[in-house]
Amino acid sequence: MANVEEAKPDAEKIWTWRRQLTGNILPLIPGLPFLVIGFYTMCHQQKFLGWGLLIFSLGVATTWISLNWLACYASRGLQLEFDIWYQSKIAELPKERYFVGFAQPNYSGILDPHQDIGFLALGESNLIFLGEKFHLSFPKSTIKEVKFKWNPHSIVGLGRWICVQGTSDSMDFHLKIEPRSESTLLADKRASSILRNRIQNWAANKN
């Protein structure tokens, strides 16, 4: 049987809207001047090819680079803070755990694609998500498929969801997670391949 709990709203003290705003707005700042100047130049000169396009392209490249690096600038600190916070609530955290972002199937965040953050744990017989807002547990036997799906980070090639799908109590469930333990989005994307394979192997072992 699946077990899903939702904490009270006032329990959200780490994954705040300020942190979500900073992690998604800060990376846009370095490239914004180039984007604005380049667009203005193209409009002013009334031609697509030329200095305007060059400056605008520089803005796109700068934004991509800063998004890759700056979007994760606080990930290690968040993980450490969350680890300490959760250990104050649970005597012993699961040994095999991964720091991830999480979202329900129909969630669409304005500030960040991750609705919650926390630890994905692979227990002896259950897949567990221990978040600041959500606590979920699904028996290994109910998991049918683990695959990739796009998320907003996928638009610029810097991320993707790992989707764990299955059926429990005659109801389908759909768990969307994304690694958040690395220092760049590209590193997190590479980590998603390793984590997906680990979940697939764990779920396939029914012993």
For residues 63 and 88, membership in a common domain is answered with no
Confidence band for 3, pLDDT divided at 50, 70 and 90: low
Give me the amino acid identity at 184: T
Residue 82 has a pLDDT of: 83
CA atoms of 192 and 183, how far apart (whole Å): 14
Q: Can you give the pLDDT at residue 55?
A: 92
* Res 207: pLDDT: 63
182 located within any domain: yes
Q: Of 8-22, 37-51, 90-104, 157-171, which range is least confident?
A: 8-22
Domain identity same for 163 and 109? yes
Task: Count CB-CB contacts under 10 A for residue 151.
Answer: 19
Reading the block at residue 186, the tokens are 């590209």
Across all residues in the chain, what is the average pLDDT? Answer: 85
* Structure confidence by residue, pLDDT tens digits, 49-88: 888 889 999 999 999 999 898 888 778 788 888 888 877 7
Question: Is residue 25 domain-resident?
Answer: no
pTM: 0.83
Kindly indicate the confidence band of residue 8, based on its pLDDT and cuts at 50, 70 and 90. very low
* pLDDT reading at 28 higher than 80: yes
Same domain, 81 and 128: yes
| pLDDT, tens only, 89-111 | 776 777 788 999 999 988 887 77
Q: By the 8 A CB rule, do 150 and 136 touch?
A: no
Residues 50 and 115 in one domain: no
Question: Quick one: average pLDDT of 8-19?
Answer: 67
145 and 198 housed in the same domain: yes
CATH assignment of the domain containing 133: 2.30.29.30
Q: What is the pLDDT of residue 200?
A: 94
Residue 31 neighbours by CB under 8 Å, 6+ apart: 58, 59, 60, 61, 62, 63, 64, 66
Parent domain of 86: 3-11+74-204
Neighbours of 169 (CB within 10 A): 8
Q: Which two tokens stand for residue 72?
A: 């994760």
Report how many domains make up the chain. Answer: 2
